[in-house]
Structure 1
Amino acid sequence: MKITSVKSHVLQYDLPGELGYSQQYYERRTAHLVEVNTDEGITGWGECFGPGNIAIANKAIVEKVIQPIILGSDPMDRDVLWHRVYNLTRDHGQKGMPLQALSGVDIALWDIAGKVAGLPLHKLIGGAHRTRIPVYGYGMMLKRESVEDHVARFRLEADQIMEMGFVGAKLKTGLGPKEDIELCRAVAETVEGRGRFMVDANHCYTTPDAFYVGRALDELGAYWFEEPVAPEDLDGYRELRAALKVNISGGEAEFNRWGWRQILENRGLDIAQPEVCALGGISEYLRVLALCHAHFTPVINHVWGSAIAVATNIQLLAAMPAMPGGLHPWEPMLEFDTTDNKFRDDLLQEPLDIQGQVKSSGGFVSIPGGPGHGVVPDAEFIRHYEIDL
């Protein structure tokens, strides 16, 4: 079997309303899918992390840089191809967009391997340690409105997320330390007794401001404080973890095993959040997961993007060993964006229907049993939303 083409599909549509987080506001939803074709008619699908113009730049890397390196190769040699691409591009970026682009290609190669074997990804990895995954919902995005309006809306959205059946709710912060505590208090009061609540700062604080917010989260009982400071500030992460009760989480902006080695040896995370569509794909994710568990750091994957990303993460969470083991082990959760996302809800020939599963099962989602990541995108849907570049 040989690879005959590597295609990039950047999809985009206008959201019903503007959304924001601590770094920016945005009006469009973007997804970047990768399609790897073979001479035996087997096609694999992957996804690259990165919105907007980042996805457009990554498309060029996928098609103009990575495709020539792997064209004509056996797609089953995915680890060989991963290292060939990495070694030939490492002088131009061991992190960032080259790794995001490689991630989508690698996920597609794993999808091909699953289809050749007739097995879902979790079976290729070693089997399912769990047959269903608890799901938490995030929403409560920032908008161009007053603090008072944010507080009222966050209360409503948190209540809606819990009513949907999710096991927890996560909010965004970034209005300012004092204002953010008001948002956190509103969500904590709404979720109390119904599940966990988590806070995602998207690295907007200095270390002193993160301490200010973090001490409030200690009192409010937050489960984790996500990306409180810049990803480069390893000392800040370590200081926060040592002094606060709330779990410090992060890592979505880190790449490959070498970057993760630095984070883990620094002992700055209570919970690791690797992003498989960014750090180097499934091949590298499995190495990072092993590093995390070798440092006794539990993992809850960062999940953002289309149904391809969601299905891939469900497979990986199913295959994740309990850490530590026991009769009632600590369990990972699936992250689910509750805002409008056609690329997750409508992309597939057979939708995952995460919301429906969560509502009917008390907060859980089942593992797709089809080969590869277990889902097939709709070609007509892709043609409709693909932007012309």
Structure 2
Amino acid sequence: MKITRITSHVLSCDMPELLGYSQQYYAKRSAHLVEVQTNEGVTGWGECFGPGNVALANKSIVEKVIQPLIAGDNPMNRDAIWHKVYNLLRDHGQKGMPLQALSGVDIALWDIAGKITGQPIYNLLGGAHRNSVGVYGYGMMLRPESVTELAARFVDEAAEIREAGFAATKMKIGLGPREDAKLAAAVRKGVGEDFDFMADANHAYTTSDAFYVGRALDELGAYWFEEPVAPEDHAGYSELRRSLKINIAGGEAEFNRWGWKALLESRGLDIAQPEVCALGGITEYQRVLSLCHAHFTPVVNHVWGSAIAVAANLQLLAAMPPLPGGLFPREPWLEFDTTENRFRDELLSVPLNIQNQVKTNAGRVAIPDGPGLGVTPDREVIEHYKIC
């Protein structure tokens, strides 16, 4: 079997309302799917992290740089292909967009391997530790509104997410320390005292401002404080972890085993959040997961994107051993965007229906058990939303 063609499908659509986080507001949703075809008719699907113009740039890397390097290779040689591409691109970027592009290709190769062997990816990774996983719903996105307006909306939205059956919820912050404290108090009011909520700053703060927000979150009993400072600021992460009660989470902006080695050795994370569609795909994710567990750092994957990204993460969460183990371990969660996402809810020929599963299955969703990713994209949907 040989790889014959690699195609990027960049999708885009208007969102029903302007949403944002600490770095920007956005009015469009996008997704970057990767399709790897073979001479025996087996096709694999993957996804590259990165929205908007980043997806357009990554399309060029996938099709113009990576495809010529591996055309004709056996798609089952995933590790050899990974190192071949990484080594030849190393001089041009050990992080960022080259790794995002490689991630989508690598995930597609794992999908092919599962289809060839008739096995779900979790079996190729060693077997399932669970056949379903808890789901937390993130929402409470920022809008260009006053803090008073945002806080009122956050109370209602947080309550709705809990009522929908999710196991926990996550909010966006990053307006400013005092403003964020008010927004976090609103979320706590909305979910009540006996429900986990988390806050994601998307690296908005200096260490001193992050301490102010972190202490407010401590008082509210929040479960984790995500990306409080710049991802490069390992020392800032470590200071916050030593001094705050709240769990410090991060890592979605880190790449490959070498970047993760440095991050974990800095001892700045209570919870690691690798992004499989960015750090190097499933092949490299497995190495990062081993590093996290070697440092006794629990993993809750970062999940953003289409149904392909969700399916890939469900496979990984099924195969993830509990840390530290025992009769009553704290199990990993699936991250789920509760805002409108057509590329998740409409993309597949057989939808995952996560919202319905969460509501009827005590906040949990089943792991797809079909070959590979266990899902099949609808080509008509891809063509409808494809911009290039």
Q: Answer yes or no: same fold by TM over 0.5.
A: yes
1:251 corresponds in structure 2 to 251
Give the 3-state SS of the residue equivalent to 1:159 in structure 2.
helix
Contact 1:223-1:247 at 8 Å conserved across structures = yes
Deviations 1:67-97 (A, max 9, x none): 0000000000010000000000000000000
Structure 2 stretches lacking a partner, 5+ long: none
Residues of 2 paired with 1:135 and 1:215: CA distance? 26
Give the 3-state SS of the residue equivalent to 2:134 in structure 1.
strand
The equivalences for 1:1-389 within 5 A come to: 1-388=1-388
Residues of 1 paired with 2:340 and 2:85: CA distance? 35
Give the drift of 1:130: 1.0
Amino acid at match of 1:103: S
Amino acid at match of 1:66: I
Contact 1:137-1:161 at 8 Å conserved across structures = yes
Give the 3-state SS of the residue equivalent to 1:373 in structure 2.
coil
Question: Percent identity of the aligned residues?
Answer: 71
Deviations 1:282-320 (A, max 9, x none): 000000000000000000000000000001101100100
Amino acid at match of 2:63: E
Give the 3-state SS of the residue equivalent to 1:135 in structure 2.
strand
Deviations 1:24-83 (A, max 9, x none): 000000000000000000000000000000000000000000000000000000100000
Residues of 2 paired with 1:242 and 1:175: CA distance? 25
Deviations 1:329-374 (A, max 9, x none): 1210000000010000000000000000000001000010100010
Deviations 1:187-222 (A, max 9, x none): 012212452100000000110000000011111000
Residues of 1 paired with 2:159 and 2:192: CA distance? 10
Deviations 1:245-273 (A, max 9, x none): 00000000000000000010000000000
Count of residues paired in the alignment: 388
Contact 2:204-2:228 at 8 Å conserved across structures = yes
Residues of 2 paired with 1:139 and 1:51: CA distance? 18
Structure 1 stretches lacking a partner, 5+ long: none
Contact 2:2-2:74 at 8 Å conserved across structures = yes
TM-score of the aligned structures, taking structure 2 as reference length: 0.99
Residues of 1 paired with 2:375 and 2:259: CA distance? 31
Deviations 1:105-143 (A, max 9, x none): 000000000000000010110111011100000011110
Contact 2:154-2:190 at 8 Å conserved across structures = no
TM-score of the aligned structures, taking structure 1 as reference length: 0.99
Give the 3-state SS of the residue equivalent to 1:198 in structure 2.
strand
Residues of 2 paired with 1:244 and 1:189: CA distance? 22
Comparing 189-198 with 358-367, which one deviates more in the overlay?
A: 189-198
Residues of 1 paired with 2:216 and 2:19: CA distance? 26
Residues of 1 paired with 2:326 and 2:143: CA distance? 43
Residues of 2 paired with 1:98 and 1:243: CA distance? 36
Amino acid at match of 1:83: H
Residues of 2 paired with 1:357 and 1:92: CA distance? 43
Structure 1's consecutive aligned runs of 4 or more residues displaced over 3 angstroms after TM superposition are none
Residues of 2 paired with 1:156 and 1:49: CA distance? 30
Give the 3-state SS of the residue equivalent to 1:123 in structure 2.
helix
Residues of 1 paired with 2:2 and 2:193: CA distance? 55
Give the 3-state SS of the residue equivalent to 1:6 in structure 2.
strand
Residues of 2 paired with 1:8 and 1:284: CA distance? 21
Amino acid at match of 2:266: N
